[in-house]
Chains A and B, each alone.
Chain A
Amino acid sequence: MQNGKVLTRRIAQLFIDRLNTEVPAADTDLFETGILDSLRFVQLLAALEEAFGIRVSVEELEIDDFRNLSRIADFLATKQPR
C-alpha cells in the first residue's frame, strides 16, 4: 500500500507522460475541465493498468472514482496488485 500523496504524484506524472497533460491540482475535476473525455479515459485506464499492475473491468467503473487525482489514488489503493 502506498502513501496517498506519493500515489497522487505518480498518477499526476502518468497524465504528463501518457496524456501530455498537467493536472493543476489533486482536486481538479477531470470531467468538468474536459481533461478526460471518452477516448482519453480509455488511454488513462490502459496506462494505470500498465503502471500499477492492476486490472480494471469495465463493469466496476464508477465515474466518481475518476473525478480527480485524489479519487483515482483512493481507487487504486483498494486494488490489489496482480
Chain B
Amino acid sequence: MIRLLQEWVTREAERRPDTTAVVLGGERYTYGQLDTYSNMLAHALREAGCERGDRVALLLPKSPMTVVSLLGALKADACYVPLDTLSPAPRIAKIVESAQPRLILTGARGATTLRLLLEDGRLRNSVRIGWLEADGGAGAPCQPTFTLDDVRRRPAAPLAYANTPTDRAHILYTSGSTGTPKGVAIIHSSVIHFVQWAKGYFGLTASDRMSGHSPFHFDLSTFDLFGTFAAGAQLHLVPPELNVVPHRLAHFIREAHLTQWFSVPSVLALMAQLDVVRPGDFPTLKRLLWCGEVFPTRALRYWMTRLPHVAFTNLYGPTEATIASSYYTVPRCPADDAEPVPIGRPCAGEELLVLDDAQRPVAPGAVGDLYIRGVGVSPGYWRDPEKTRAVFLPGPAGPDDRLYRTGDLARLGEDGLVYFLGRADSQIKARGYRIELGEIEAALQTLPELEESAVVARRAAGFEGTTICCAYVPRPGAAVTPMTLRNALGRLLPAYMLPTEWRAYGRLARNANGKIDRARIRDEWDREQPAGSLASEQREA
C-alpha cells in the first residue's frame, strides 16, 4: 500500500528499473530513469528552499521531462501547479499570482511567456526559476536559481518525505466565472483512491500501454500518469498537434499498440465525423474511456460498431472531485442516436446524490442538482474561502461530512443509474475544455472598443458540441471587426476560449430587470442562423 503518489514510480524502479515508463516520439524514460532524475530534481528543489506545502509551477510542454518535474516536485514535498504553455501571459500571470509558487520550472518553450511575466514588476521580484535546459542558463530570460546542469550534479539518493496522504499533490486551475481562474487543490489520497479503484476495475497490468492524451493541466492526465505507474505500465504521450488531424491520431493508436485509450468526446466525435477508424481497427485496444463531456450517442455508435472487441466506459466527474466519481461501461451498442448514455454509478468511496433546493433527495426520474460526497472531494479552492464555501457544503451527517455541489443537473433513472441533464449555470464544455462564459465576458469587458457584450453558447449540429458566440455593441466611432476583436481577446485568453461566431448589435436584448438577456440573444441567434455543422456541411458539399 502506498501513501504518496511518487511511491508507485519508486516501487517499479526497484523491481524493474529498465522497463519503459514514458514515451513521447523518440524520447523514452525507464522507471529507473524517472525515479533517479526526479530524485535529483527534488534535491535541487529542496536546496532552493522548497518545503512541505510549497507550490512548484510547471511552465513546460507535455514531455517526459515534465513527468520528471512533477515527480520531483512531489518528492520535494511540494505540490505541482501545471501551466498551459499555450495560454496568454496575462492569464498565466493570474494563476502565478494566486498559486505563489516557490519556483517555476521551465525551459525554452516557456521563455517567451516568462519574459512577459517578468515585465510585471511584482512578479519580477518574486518569481524564481529552475531552468531545465542544458545551456547553462544562457537562454533563460532571468538568472535561474538552478539549471539542468546543476540538477545533474545533485545526488540520486532517495529522499525522506515530510508529506502525508492528506497533503496537496497538485493544484489545477479551471476557468472562473469572474475572470480569474480558480485553483482546485487535490490531495494525494484522493488520487491514490481513484487510481486503485480504476486499476482493479479496468484490470490494468504491467503489459498495458496507456495513452497520455490530456494536457497535464487537465485532471484526466493524473489518471494517465498515476494509473500507468500504479500498474507498472507504459505511458504513451500523444503529441498535442495530432489532435488537429484525426487520422494521424488513429495512426498513433495503431503504431503505439495502445491497450487503453482515454480521450475526450470532442476528439472522438471528430474522428467519427472524418471516419478515420477502420472496422476491427486497433487490435491491441482493450478499453476506450472518455470523460469531461457528453459523448454524442451517434458518435459512440460509430465507435462501437467499428470496434466490437473494445470495452467502452464513460467516466464522469468534475476536477473538484478528483478525476472521476462515477462510471458506466456501455453493455451493448445503443439502438439509436437518441438513446442517452448514463454517467452510471459511483466509483468506490464516492456517492452521487440528486437533491432538491432544500438538499432533500428527489424522487427517481425527477430532475435535481447533482452533489458528490466521498474520498475524492477536494479540500477546496486554493486561497479562496468564499468560492469554496459556495460549493463545498456541510453535509447532514456530522462535522466531517462535506458535499460538493457540481452545478450539474441530473436524474436518477429507474435502472438505478444517474443521467446527466446539463448545467444549472453558464459553464460549458467545448472541445473538452471546461469554460465559464463569465470568464470570456470579463475579458471582453476590458476591451476599450466595445460598449457592451455578451457571450452565449449555441449547440452545434452533428458531432461538434458547443459553439461559443459573442454578441457585441461597438463603441461609437470604434473600428471593430470580428478579426480585430479575436486578436485582442487572443492576447488575454487561450485559443479554446475564443468565440467562433460574432455578431454586431446596435443594442443587446434586456430582460425586465434591465439585465442583458442572454437566453433571448441565443434563441434569436438560433432562429436567424440555425446551428449548422459549418465545417462538415461544407466538406460534404
Contact = CB atoms under 8 A, between A and B. Distances in A.
Interface of A: 16, 20-22, 31-43, 45-47, 49-50, 58-59, 61-63, 66
A37 B487 contact: no
Contacts of B393: none
Contacts of A45: 535, 539
Interface stretch (B7-15, B266-274, B347-355): B266-274
Interface class of chain B by DSSP: helix
Nearest to B240: A31
Interface string B424-447: 000000010000000000000000
A39 B243 contact: no
Contacts of A42: 270, 274, 535-536, 539
Contact of A46 (B487, B496, B502, B539): B539
A17 to B, nearest CB: 9
In the A-B complex, list the 5 residue pairs whose CB atoms are closest, starting with the nearest.
A34-B495, A46-B538, A42-B535, A31-B241, A20-B482
Contacts of A16: 483
Interface residues of B, number: 34
Contacts of A47: 538
A38 B270 contact: yes
Contacts, number: 82
Nearest to A17: B483
Given A16-B483, A50-B538, A37 B248 contact: no
Given A21-B486, A34-B495, A63-B242, A39 B500 contact: yes
B534 A43 contact: yes
B244 A37 contact: yes
A58 B485 CA distance: 32
Nearest to A29: B241
Interface of B: 86, 240-248, 266-267, 270, 274-276, 431, 464, 481-483, 485-487, 494-496, 500, 502, 534-536, 538-539
Contacts of A20: 481-483, 485-486, 502
13 contacts: A20-B481, A20-B483, A34-B494, A34-B496, A37-B244, A38-B243, A38-B267, A38-B431, A39-B464, A41-B245, A58-B246, A63-B248, A66-B244
A31 B538 contact: no
A71 to B, nearest CB: 13
Nearest to A36: B244
Contacts of A43: 534-535, 538
Contacts of A31: 240-241, 244
